[in-house]
Amino acid sequence: MALSRRSFSALAGTTALGLALGGSGGPGAPSAYAARPVPTGPPPAPPGADGQPHTVGFDRYSLLVDGSRLVLWSGEMHPFRLPSPSLWRDVLQKMRAHGYNAVSIHVAWNHHSPAPGQYDFGGVRDLGLFLRTAAECGLYVVVRPGPYIGADVDGGGLPGWLTATAGTARTADPAYLRHADEWLTEVDAVVSRHLFTRGTGTVLLYQIENAYDAHAGEPAGRAYLSHLYRKVRRDGIDIPLFHNDGGRDGAWVPGSFDTGGERGRWLYGFDGDPSPSQTPPDWGHFGRGGRSGGATASPRTPGFMPESGGGRSDAWGGPESGGKGYAESRRTRDAAYERRCYLTHLANGITLHNAYMTFGGTSWGWLPAPDVYTSYDYGAAIDEGRRPTEKLVPMHQIGHMLQRIPDFARLDRAADVKAAGLTVRHLVNPDTGAHVYVLRNDHDEDVTTTLPAAGEDLPVHVPSRDARLMVTGLALGQRTLHHSTAQPMAFLTTGSVDVAVFTGWRGEMAHLALTSADEPTVTRLDQAAAYVYDQGLLRVTAPLGGNWPVRLLVQGEDADRPLLLLFADEASSLRLWPRDTPSGTLLVHGPDLLRTAALQGSTLRLTGDTTGAAPLEVWGPPGAGIDRVEWNGRAVPTSPTASGSLRATAPLPAVGAVALPELDGWRTRTENPEAEPGYDDSGWRTADRTTSHSTTPVPQGQPVLFADDYGFHYGDVWYRGTFTGATGVEAVRLAYSTGTQGMLMAWLDGRPIGTHRMPVPDRATVRRGTWTDTAVLPVRPELRTPGRHVLSVLVRRMQHDQDGAALDTHKAARGLTAVTFAGDSPEVTWRIRGEAAPDPVRGPMNNGGLHGEREGWHLPGFPDHDWQAVGLPRAEQRQGVAWYRTTFPLAVDPGTDASVGLVLEDDPRRAYRVQIFLNGWNMGQYINDVGPQHTFVLPNGILRTRGTNTLALAVLSEPSTPSGPGRVRLTLLGVTAGGVRVTPVPAPGR
């Protein structure tokens, strides 16, 4: 039931836990939070769809889940950028294993809605399946369904059909809101079935709109956010809501707009993508303060970054990456960058983190925004081929630390401390007295110095442009850590021992001290460790490095349970897997990935991945009595160790070899019959409109030629203009408007008269969403004849502007905008044709308007036996479109996860582009003379790893150079033993 104001006030004044009321109150229920400080304590158990009601609230320090403090360590991935639902589990399991406790997702309106009133939440668009999978993986979900999402997708996620409707998008315009409300009704119906508050899922937070800064100070903007807030509440979404302030200027703090009387259920969030060449900014405790200070803009809510730099998008031509693509993003925003930024954020009171992106994926089909190409790898911690990268090191270490050590959920700024050559941020937990020091090296040289802490000068080494975290006075079960120069990664209670894990860089010496009134019994399980007991302190030193963590066992005196100290460098820390199970907490060491762990009776069943032969060691839950260990369904003989673990007596097996076939057996056929004067275009739309909802003005005296106005929203579009008499025509002037790297080509009476393309963006124009130009194409004298003529124009329109400034620029025209002639002014009748009806399985953004697409040349089973047999590479000089098709078999072992890519290479001076279709799925666009992308990920599920695949390439050639395709081959991006079971994605053919 909903609480009355009187009941709400009484609860807010008496609660000791400060709980937000979730599912019990239903939509519109008030919530209370933090009337009294919530003490530091154990975090909530990992989430799941447990059928129990839960509460979600917050105070100025952190989220409060069922009365316990939660630090949110989330990673962004987009289900729509991985069109193989089985692989969602793969990425989510990797995130969970590497320390993330949440996943954040955008939900793209255009991905689900091919037409007004039509919505698809099945197949690769099954949002409910994704949410169920996240719950099964033990991850909270942050849902961000817009209506506008940005996210480097076409139109910022607004559907193509919206461009041809009345109303100004992203405002309180009633015409727009009718469509937006319909979308929210549909998506919220799915989300509401998976709310954590109801115990039916793990959806924890919900974002409305995205980076809506343009109208933040205007009544219309406030009315728009207020409308969305109330709409979402009416739809039954009862969890905390938030928005991401892209400008970090205090927009949309609590109280900035009308929430219908609700209080305490709105979080302020802000985005941040620090430049790797700059010092990480202090957006909180240590910053400028006030409304533009990041977390300080909202002092009663916890610091929250819905998007924090996990990489960087790259544009056509790679003007910001130097043409090196996402490898450069991963190099400049590397593990050290992540560590500097995220530890700085933590020091500034930010306890809700979301790394955008953690897995970027693929902007397949016509999904990408104008400025980005197919790959959305983003330089993220998990690459586009689903491979973990070295950037996971700090995310893994920090993520597990935040989940396993509760002191970090409530930190206050403490007295300033100095260490020569370093920036020091000093914090203290007011409940436990633990002190935290973030030490950042903002210089190009390594720094070795001392830190005055815990009554000593502690030795500190920080590599150039890196950071580390140190703690003093930290409780480790029944013992107290006096200090450690190595960063804590985890503390957990296993079967017979408590385990504390500390991490640092390979080759350095870790210094640690435990308080102990009497000298404990110490066992060096690795001889490299050393210790001494002196004046109430057990001092330990341990070198970091090697394949195994250095370990030392402390027993007796001040504690009933032994304490196992593990010291790991970067590589060995990535092989340590803490895991909570219904039977208790366990720790696994050795494999490349731990996916699942379940204790059934006395059998511990583990699943995961290995590349090379790997050790396996397990510390089981308390009282588990494990007598059998299985790995991926097979028994693993083990023996007990002095550290309280079970260790495999033989290594886990390495992955086997994977063979990829050569791509041969190609067949080709040219197309563009639309250029021929006798082509039957009677079924095409007549371009005779005189008004448009586009933001592009309709030229005086011209019909509307904008493709969207005639229902063609994605991919290529054809125009045929018929006129009489060309004797005086000296040139054709084709004005057109496209996204980045748009182009056109024209024929007069079937004869090519030229092509035109938009320029490759530079640093100044890299984020431009709409490009306009006029192609002036001379008409050769032999074509200037009397009688009927047909001007045929093919426009590669690219994508719609993202409309980041909320100016309705997603409605900027795509396609031709005006056609005039030099030397004469014939009257032209225009017809237009674009994509056919949306593919019912692959969706509206899979296909464009090429003849071959409309006829199914890209589909499996298309009869190409009468096509010409050819070999690659090719070097054919022509204007127009040619198709190439082949098939290839794969036979990957069922227990092997092979990530496969397609590589296209050619002389970069050759001007052509390729649309890549795998089993009918449009896997992206390659522009040979622009780049930088040459490798295209072929996701398993769409790729038949045990079966036959159909590959089709649609090559659009400019006549100025020879055209390919050049060398086309498969490449193995990564391979592991393990993986997840992959269900083939439907690929209907002819």
Q: What is the CATH number of the domain that holds 701?
A: 2.60.120.260
Q: What angle do CA 825, 831, 837 make, to 5 degrees?
A: 160
C-alpha 911/C-alpha 563 separation (Å) is 65
663 domain residue, yes or no = no
pLDDT reading at 709 higher than 50: yes
383 domain residue, yes or no = yes
pLDDT value, residue 1? 28
Same domain, 105 and 235: yes
pLDDT value, residue 471? 98
Give yes or no for a contact between 970 and 663, defined as CB atoms under 8 angstroms apart.
yes
pLDDT value, residue 496? 87
Mean pLDDT of 168-172: 97
pLDDT reading at 559 higher than 90: no
Q: Which positions ≥6 away from 701 have C-beta within 8 Å?
A: none
The dihedrals phi and psi of 668, each to the nearest 5 degrees, come to -135, 155
pLDDT value, residue 553? 97
pLDDT reading at 981 higher than 50: yes
pLDDT reading at 8 higher than 50: no
pLDDT reading at 22 higher than 70: no
194 domain residue, yes or no = yes
DSSP output for 5-69: HHHHHHHHHH-SS-PPP-TTT-TT------SSPPPP-PPPPPP---S----EEE-SS-EEETTEE
Per-residue pLDDT tens over the stretch 569-601: 999 999 999 999 999 999 999 999 999 999 999
pLDDT value, residue 13? 30
666 domain residue, yes or no = no
Same domain, 713 and 807: yes
Same domain, 257 and 199: yes
Same domain, 895 and 821: no
Name the residue among 266, 121, 142, 122 with its Cα closest to residue 194: 142
Same domain, 320 and 205: yes
Token digits of residue 234: 């009416």
Which of 586, 616, 648 is the endpoint of a domain? 648
Q: Which positions ≥6 away from 712 have C-beta within 8 Å?
A: 815, 832, 833, 834, 835, 849
Mean pLDDT of 736-755: 98
Element holding 344 (H helix, E strand): helix 335-347
Which of 614, 648, 682 is the endpoint of a domain? 648
Q: In terms of DSSP bridges, do strands 203-207 and 140-144 run parallel, antiparallel, or are they unpaired? A: parallel
Token digits of residue 797: 């329109």
326 domain residue, yes or no = yes
Percent of the chain that is helix, strand, coil (3-state, to 5): 15, 35, 50
CATH number for the domain spanning 513: value is 2.102.20.10
Lowest mean pLDDT among 17-31, 84-98, 635-649: 17-31
Percentage of the chain beyond pLDDT 90 is 94
497 domain residue, yes or no = yes
Same domain, 604 and 701: no
Per-residue pLDDT tens over the stretch 292-304: 999 999 999 999 9
pLDDT value, residue 15? 30
pLDDT reading at 19 higher than 70: no
Mean pLDDT of 471-493: 97
pLDDT reading at 781 higher than 90: yes
Q: 866-871, long-range: CB within 8 Å, 24+ apart, which pairs?
A: 867/667, 867/668, 867/669, 868/667, 868/668, 868/669, 869/665, 869/666, 869/667, 870/666, 870/667, 870/668, 871/664, 871/666
Which of 388, 422, 439 is the endpoint of a domain? 388
C-alpha 40/C-alpha 408 separation (Å) is 9
Lowest mean pLDDT among 29-38, 263-272, 544-553, 647-656: 29-38
Residue with tokens 């096509």: 867
Same domain, 635 and 701: no
The dihedrals phi and psi of 438, each to the nearest 5 degrees, come to -100, 120
Q: Domain tally for the chain?
A: 4
Mean pLDDT of 209-228: 95
pLDDT value, residue 214? 87
CATH number for the domain spanning 312: value is 3.20.20.80
Same domain, 316 and 431: no
C-alpha 344/C-alpha 63 separation (Å) is 19
Q: What number of CA atoms fall less than 13 Å from residue 916's CA on the CB side?
A: 29
Same domain, 642 and 676: no
pLDDT reading at 979 higher than 50: yes
Residue with tokens 């559907």: 159
Same domain, 146 and 174: yes
pLDDT band at 547 (very low <50, low <70, confident <90, very high): confident
C-alpha 818/C-alpha 550 separation (Å) is 72
Lowest mean pLDDT among 35-44, 122-131, 929-938: 35-44
Range of the domain at 128: 70-388
50 domain residue, yes or no = no
Same domain, 437 and 491: yes
Token digits of residue 9: 């006030």
C-alpha 732/C-alpha 824 separation (Å) is 10
Averaged confidence pLDDT in the chain: 95
C-alpha 902/C-alpha 910 separation (Å) is 19
pLDDT reading at 5 higher than 60: no
362 domain residue, yes or no = yes
Lowest mean pLDDT among 18-32, 419-433, 877-891: 18-32
C-alpha 23/C-alpha 198 separation (Å) is 5
pLDDT band at 23 (very low <50, low <70, confident <90, very high): very low
459-464-466-470 Cα dihedral, nearest 10 degrees: 0
- pTM, two decimal places: 0.96
Same domain, 754 and 638: no
Mean pLDDT of 205-226: 95
The dihedrals phi and psi of 90, each to the nearest 5 degrees, come to -60, -50
Q: What angle do CA 671, 674, 680 make, to 5 degrees?
A: 125
pLDDT reading at 9 higher than 70: no
Per-residue pLDDT tens over the stretch 332-345: 999 999 999 999 99
